[in-house]
Amino acid sequence: MLSLKKLSTNLLRNCGPLGAVSTSLYGSTSQPSPSRPRATEPPKRVVFISQSTDVFSNLAFEDWLYKNWSFEKRSILFLWRNSPCVVIGRHQNPLVEANIPYLESAGVPVARRGSGGGAVYHDHGNLNCTFFTARERYDRRQNLELICNVLNHDFGIQARANSRDDIVVGHDNKVSGTAAKLGRTSAYHHCTLLVRTDRQQLRLALQGDKTIQIKATHSVSSPVANLGDIGGKDMTVEKLLASLGRTYLTEQEQDPRLANGFTLVNPTDDWFPGLGKIEADLRSGEWIEGKTPRFTIRRSVSLPPCLAGTSASANITVQAYHGVVEEVRLEDGLMACEELTDLVLDISTSLKGTPYTPGIFCDISNRLRVPQPLHTQRSFL
């Protein structure tokens, strides 16, 4: 007896391209209807591992996945590592969070991610995990528990998640950071794990300029620890990566048929069209510096004898917004001579609209020493 399945398969085999019903090949608006899995069927799980260590490519890929994919049928754990870099939160000030002059001289990039939260330092000893799910399956706690189970089970490290969603070991030493993004249909939870991070570099990199006054999000610093210090020399990023991936795929409640294994991803535009644009935006000054909220910074600048009145120095405040100078102000203006006041006004006019850099006070100091005649400053306007 032919089963119904065999009947329909035979039909498909012997008929023309449009099946038994003859309609025009063109102009048919009906989509082929594959048998859809029931909405309640649990999604397959797959582990993506980035083959790039460039923070901009990886952040761009995270964003690309979030924007372009639906996670109804597949949940994804994306594991990635970066070459040394600093990543600040969406609303933070890079000057406050990171030691920009040091990082520039060391060639360490600073990136701004799309999600909120604090600044972190990444290097090869740090593992990033991003859990992608459909919006209704978003469960931060579950992800943190998975990580803690792996650490306890596979590496003998007593780790737990605290109320701030940090993973801590020992006496509240932080080994992770968490950030998240929730959209209408998709969500991701990003967690970083310190395994063998260079803690000295971390400290140096995150020593920002605390004299800057801001309304932006401050990072909350906590004592950190490396999992590698506790887990022994067998604990490496590679091993943790493999353990996390395996556990994610084969967690007890998961039907083994839902596991789809590991795969490498090459986060470039030719593999994922549209990724190039996201990456270019992330690299742009417009994004990194340009999203910095308004801030002011005040320094004492020494004055040349011709300008010095009762004091040999003056307090100058620079105000910037979105990384661009808005105003240069002279504090204690009442005590200054008219020449100084006018000079500072001119400096403000000429520096307004230029990008803020940490070297600006040097520039201001030079301009005070060698004042330009007023008419030459204006001659090109």
Residues of this chain that interact with other proteins (CB under 8 A) are: 9, 12-13, 15-19, 25-26, 28, 30-32, 34-35, 37, 44, 47-49, 51, 238, 241-242, 245, 249, 259-266, 268, 270-273
From the CB of 250, what's the least distance to other proteins, in Å? 10
Using DSSP's 3-state secondary structure scheme, residue 79 falls into strand
Q: 241 or 282, CB closer to other proteins?
A: 241
Q: 242 or 337, CB closer to other proteins?
A: 242
Q: 5 or 184, CB closer to other proteins?
A: 5
Q: 28 or 221, CB closer to other proteins?
A: 28
From the CB of 271, what's the least distance to other proteins, in Å? 5
**How many CB atoms within 10 Å of residue 72?**
17
Q: 66 or 356, CB closer to other proteins?
A: 66
User: If you ran DSSP here, which 8-state letter would residue 310 be given?
Assistant: S
**How many CB atoms within 10 Å of residue 106?**
12
From the CB of 268, what's the least distance to other proteins, in Å? 7
In 3D, which of 100, 186, 179, 93 has the Cα closest to residue 136?
186
From the CB of 31, what's the least distance to other proteins, in Å? 6
Q: 6 or 141, CB closer to other proteins?
A: 6
Quote the CA–CA distance of 177 and 347 in Å, as a whole number: 42
Quote the CA–CA distance of 99 and 109 in Å, as a whole number: 11
Pairing mode of beta strands 44-50, 74-80: parallel
From the CB of 138, what's the least distance to other proteins, in Å? 22
Which residues make Cβ contacts (< 8 Å) with residue 157, sequence separation at least 6?
A: 151, 169, 227, 230, 231, 235
From the CB of 55, what's the least distance to other proteins, in Å? 19
Edge to edge, the sheet with strand 313-321 lists 213-214, 295-302, 313-321, 324-330
